[in-house]
Amino acid sequence: MIGPGAVILHVDLEAIEQNTRTLAELMPDTEIVGVTKMTCGDGDVGEAMLRGGATALGDSRHLNLWNLRRVGVRAPLWLLRSAEPQLAMETVRAADVSLNCELETIKALNAAAASIGEIHRVVIMVDVGDLREGVLPEELFPLLTEVRELKNVLVAGLGTNLTCYGTVVPTSENLGELVELAHGAAEIVGRPLLVSGGNSSNLPLALAGGMPPEIDNLRIGESILLGTDTLSRQQLLPSLRLDAFIVRAAVVECRVKPSMPRGVLSSQDAFGNRAVFRDRGLRRRAICAIGRQDARPEGLRPVFPHIEVLGASSDHLILDVEALDPPPELGEPMSFVPDYAAALQLFTSPYVRKVFAPPVW
């Protein structure tokens, strides 16, 4: 039993450390920025990444970076989302490095850094096709010509992001374009620059030896935390663990019911989705005390393969447990492995208790 009404997310820090170490050893010439945003900047998760070989931590929100600082993380911290100019001082204080592409914001960072006697490092983001953040290639050199004159901002490198929005796959061609731009950028600023080639979606190319060797930095989150290839959502490597996160929720109802609703059906459920049902006769169903307010049901994979997730409302997860013998008892916990989207929600939800220990089945 897990306690009345409790939803518990078990976090296996040893698995996170092991996954980080596996990737770091396979890519010894590539610095890994461990991305903690899925875990809302959790310090224990960040420290596990650092023990495994990450050289810095990155997050997209100032609040999460402050959390990492508050718990004593000493590694360099990267802000992975461009901040508006009004948050320049917050950025300079919270982050050692930030990703940027807007001149107005970079000038604001320069002014904020100057006011406290600091030098703030920026990675200039270039859009090589995914259409998320970044200047277009033809805009890069004019931007660098202006930024190099700023006294309290240091251009640390160039970066790009692929797959997250436009689903563009990293290739030797688009990453080669970034490398060529980095050569020209280095001439403008007068020193070598790091080349941050992307995120977890780069790993299949990198591990296959197809990533340009000049890419010396990657920002890795999901593949460390969940062990998955973000292009296929399958296990990236046999040696990567998939069980770093297990969520457990108690059964609050377990009854035999028809598999088809009875009555006039609405055109949509409470979340605007069109429900589809299949007549399978009478089936034993269980309801767990977790719902869409906590995690998307499509992203919860039952640990025991004979359980089927049928759907969810805001606070109820409906399961087909016909194949379980004996059927679950009231209060018995059901265990699930969350995908990225579900884990992100679980960490964000105040209704979910996080336990940093290997899961107890």
Q: Is 152 helix (H, G, I), strand (E, B) or coil?
A: coil
CA distance 90 to 280: 57
Q: Is 145 helix (H, G, I), strand (E, B) or coil?
A: helix
Tokens at residue 191, please? 């020193």
CA distance 34 to 27: 14
Tokens at residue 32, please? 């890994």
Spatial CA neighbour of 200 closest among 360, 325, 30: 30
Task: Tell me if residue 257 is catalytic.
Answer: no
Catalytic residue among 37, 107, 257, 354: 37
DSSP state of 135: B
Residue entry with tokens 């508006």: 84
CA torsion sign for 313, 295, 349, 130 is negative
Q: Please report which helix (H) or strand (E) contains residue 248, including its range.
A: strand 245-258
Region for 311 from its dihedrals, namely left if φ exceeds 0, alpha if ψ lies in -120 to 50, beta otherwise:
left
Please state whether beta strands 153-159 and 194-196 pair in parallel, antiparallel, or not at all (unpaired). parallel
- One-letter amino acid at 208 equals A
Give the CA dihedral 6, 9, 11, 16, nearest 10 degrees.
180
Spatial CA neighbour of 95 closest among 31, 33, 158, 183: 33
Count of C-beta atoms within a 10 Å radius of residue 329: 11
CA distance 159 to 124: 6
CA distance 322 to 337: 20
User: Which residues are catalytic, by number?
Assistant: 37
